[in-house]
């Protein structure tokens, strides 16, 4: 699985942009000022990832972009986007 320690900045940025496009980023109770698209896997990205995983019933991948999270992303996005994550 891909975690905050193995995602490159461009991968995190692509993931943040994808979450933004689907309304998961910034996470609830945060603003774009609090959570800019930065390519940094910080608390905003982790919170948004957890919300995404919770909504789609993805368990056991808390805090990481694992195989179930990737599969759900493939259902929502173009394959070219998902290949960057």
Question: What are the tens digits of pLDDT across the range 61-77?
Answer: 887 888 898 888 888 87
CA pair distance 24, 28, nearest whole angstrom: 8
- Is the per-residue pLDDT at 79 higher than 70? no
Class of 2-82 in CATH: mainly alpha
Domain boundaries, the chain: 2-82
Compute the mean pLDDT over every residue in the chain, rounded to the nearest whole number: 83
Tell me how far apart the alpha carbons of residues 58 and 42 are, in angstroms, rounded to a whole number. Answer: 20
Asked which of 5-19, 43-57, 59-73 is least confident by mean pLDDT, the reply is: 5-19
What digits encode the pLDDT tens for the residues 24-43? 999 999 999 999 999 988 99
Q: What is the C-alpha to C-alpha distance for residues 13 and 85, in angstroms, rounded to an integer?
A: 9
């Amino acid at each position: 699985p891909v975690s905050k320690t193995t995602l490159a900045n461009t991968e995190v940025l692509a993931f943040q942009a994808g979450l933004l496009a689907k309304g998961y980023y910034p996470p609830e109770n945060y603003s774009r000022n609090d959570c800019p698209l930065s390519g940094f896997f910080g608390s905003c990205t982790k919170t948004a990832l957890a919300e995404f995983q919770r909504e789609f019933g993805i368990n056991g991948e808390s805090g990481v972009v694992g195989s179930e999270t990737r599969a759900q992303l493939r259902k929502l996005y173009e394959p070219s986007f998902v290949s960057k994550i």
